Structure 1
Amino acid sequence: MAKDVTIQDVANQVGVSKTTVSRYLNGRFGNMSFETRQQIKTVIEELNYRPNRQAQSLKTKKSHLLGLMVADIENSYSGYWIKAMQETLADTDYQLMIMTSNNSEEQELDNIRKLLDQNIDGMMLQPVTMDAENYRFLYESNLPVVLIDRTIKANYWPTIQSNNFQMTKQLGLEIVDKGYERLVHVSEPIQDVSPRLERYDAMKLIAHEYQLELITLEAVSNRNIVEEYVDQFDAANKRTAFFGANGTMLTQIIKALRKRQLSYPEDCGICGYDDMTIGEVLMPTLTAISQRPELIGKRSTEVLLEMIKGNETNENIDIPSTLHRRESL
């Protein structure tokens, strides 16, 4: 059986001390010359040396593991920022442990505890509720945490998310400019999930300021509430615009209108958040807000790594989205 390559083997071949190689592996270059760093890098690659992370963890008290708790891993939107996180960590010593709560508070709590049992160095969390009490134990653990995509009702940790309220308000003004009289807001259950609440509050404000009739449809299990509404929808009554608060809801609206053989923008208008970039390929094309999940994932990872280094922050970062004005309104 081939002998495992050790850190001493690397040091011997480069002609430096084991301590110098260890400093290189931990990113502590100090007065280390560029030439020495390149020599160590080359020998590590030639010998296919893999550091013993368990041994390193015992010495440094760090696991080099980061936890990621996703509310719904089946959502394609989440996949974009997971990919960006992994790319951001590619040139570091950190690995990502991904778990999902399936939008369940009980499962989220259980999985957070499992991640803590792995001695993770930090966590990125997409919370399933805004209730801060659910996360008090995590806050009291002093673990570096970054909230991603959603926030909670406490200033525990920094939040990296889209500028939901501002962009939804901008889209609401577009609906007003197009002369619509009724706004149908279609969302998953709004209460206690911050992006849904921010988007709803923005549309509610626009409806109030410009005297639009506001209809709120919240998706429920085992019932297609969008289809039920469209089945009795009278296109001749009031000029109506449908707003899908995320990509899933936008898709449900399109399916329901097609089943009823209603056309947009002739019979009604459609717009919303397009998580899957379908808006630019459908005909007619969709007026929609595109988020930047890859940048959300990248910035969340960068902020967490800074927190692990001891650079504490509670700053919330809004990642600008883009409103694409197309043919559906």
Structure 2
Amino acid sequence: MGKTTMADVAKKAGVSKSTVSQFLNERYEYMSPDTRIRIEAAIDELNYQPNYLARSLKQKRTSTVGIIVANIMHQFSTEVSRSVEDYFNKHNMHAIVCNADNDPEKEKKYIEMLRAKQVDGLIIFPTAQNADIYKNMIKEEYPVVFMDRKVPDLQAPTVVSQNIEATYSAIQHFIDNGHERIAIATEPLTISPRIERHEGYKKALHANGIKINPEFQISTSIDKIKKELDRLFQLDAPPTAILAGNDIVFIEVLEFAKEKKLEVGESFALVVFDNIPFAHFVHPPVTTIAQSAYMMGEKAADLLLKQINKEQIDRHEVSFPCELIIRDSSKRLKEK
């Protein structure tokens, strides 16, 4: 037997090919429930497999989107990607996830590859170092949404966390618990979230009349975090509290503390800026700044689909609040 065609389904169901096509494209407005049942039964009985390639050529759409994450190792990136995939799955679309490793050249290759595959749109955690490519996509009105990171001098749909406000809240929490010697540790200040987290840190200290100590501000590559922490704790007056800028920095802080036999929550208080699913299992349970990752992914997917469907959207930044989840790692400073 040859491959089952749409005409075979139409004949079996007693309807026209165009009615079967409308069913496959979920255009049910003028279709009776009985017709839908008969078409669905015919598809099941004949084991009909729609020709998605032919459909995409006809519709000039592939029903596929691309997600280019900066670093797939971050829990936040994983949660956002899952949310985007869930959203498009509900709309009978597929998502391809690529990991750029914070490498602008790799990011460029992925953008070129996905566009060559004619994906309908892209959600990008940008390295912010491919400005010309970003600008060309916007100029061409190619559907794109930037996630987590702002691109300077670019008006485009962007979904971000309220990094400054969230960091301010965490530092204020430290101060309210008696801490004044507060350090912050992030990767290099090359992207907007890290820059904003340092800004929130300094704003909170300034608002509370605490002098900003440049020695307490770490912004270096992951492989040098522990070296910088060692420098901090050799100071005559080391920090009594640390804000770890993301989940990967957090792991370095934990490793440093273990190597130096320091007790988190005792030797120093700790808050982590990131979504860490095991934070309440660590001893002591870790205070975190939780981002609205799943909702952010849904919003980015919604903005992208609106562009794909040629619907009007406001090309502006959408920011989501974070939640400070207080646990034992950031408790009150003990009297010396």
Asked if Structure 1 and Structure 2 have the same fold, meaning a TM-score greater than 0.5 normalized by the shorter chain, the answer is yes
Amino acid at match of 1:325: I
Amino acid at match of 1:318: S
Name the residue aligned to 1:174: 173
**CA distance 1:239–1:95, shift in 2 (3 Å):** closer
- What number of residue pairs does the alignment pair up? 326
2:56 corresponds to 1:57: yes
Name the residue aligned to 1:218: 219
- How far apart are the structure 2 equivalents of 1:136 and 1:21? 41
- How far apart are the structure 2 equivalents of 1:19 and 1:64? 20
- How far apart are the structure 1 equivalents of 2:232 and 2:217? 15
- How far apart are the structure 2 equivalents of 1:101 and 1:137? 20
2:137 corresponds to 1:121: no
- How far apart are the structure 1 equivalents of 2:311 and 2:227? 50
Task: Give 1:203 shift.
Answer: 0.7
Alignment of 1:1-329 (within 5 A): 2-129=1-128, 132-191=131-190, 193-210=191-208, 211-214=210-213, 215-220=216-221, 223-230=223-230, 233-234=233-234, 237=237, 240-313=240-313, 314-329=315-330
Task: Give 1:104 shift.
Answer: 1.1
State whether residues 164 and 200 of structure 2, in contact with CA within 8 Å, keep that contact through their aligned partners in structure 1: yes
State whether residues 66 and 97 of structure 2, in contact with CA within 8 Å, keep that contact through their aligned partners in structure 1: yes
- How far apart are the structure 2 equivalents of 1:154 and 1:39? 55
User: Which structure 1 residue ranges, 4+ long, deviate > 6 Å from structure 2?
Assistant: none
State whether residues 235 and 267 of structure 1, in contact with CA within 8 Å, keep that contact through their aligned partners in structure 2: no
Task: Give 1:111 shift.
Answer: 1.5
State whether residues 275 and 288 of structure 2, in contact with CA within 8 Å, keep that contact through their aligned partners in structure 1: no
Q: Secondary structure at the match of 1:69?
A: strand
**CA distance 1:149–1:261, shift in 2 (3 Å):** same
- How far apart are the structure 2 equivalents of 1:163 and 1:49? 48
Amino acid at match of 2:318: I
State whether residues 225 and 252 of structure 2, in contact with CA within 8 Å, keep that contact through their aligned partners in structure 1: no
Task: Give 1:257 shift.
Answer: 1.4
Unaligned runs of 5+ residues in structure 1 are none
Task: Give 1:231 shift.
Answer: 5.6
Task: Give 1:228 shift.
Answer: 4.1
State whether residues 130 and 151 of structure 1, in contact with CA within 8 Å, keep that contact through their aligned partners in structure 2: no
Aligned-pair identity in percent equals: 28
Amino acid at match of 2:135: R
- How far apart are the structure 2 equivalents of 1:118 and 1:281? 43
- How far apart are the structure 2 equivalents of 1:45 and 1:156? 47
Task: Describe the superposition over 1:258-289 as per-residue Cα deviations: whole angstroms up to 9, x where unpaired.
Answer: 21111232221111223332321111111111
State whether residues 188 and 219 of structure 1, in contact with CA within 8 Å, keep that contact through their aligned partners in structure 2: yes
Amino acid at match of 2:271: C
- How far apart are the structure 2 equivalents of 1:307 and 1:237? 54
Task: Give 1:92 shift.
Answer: 2.7
Task: Give 1:155 shift.
Answer: 4.4
**CA distance 1:46–1:173, shift in 2 (3 Å):** farther
Amino acid at match of 1:203: Y
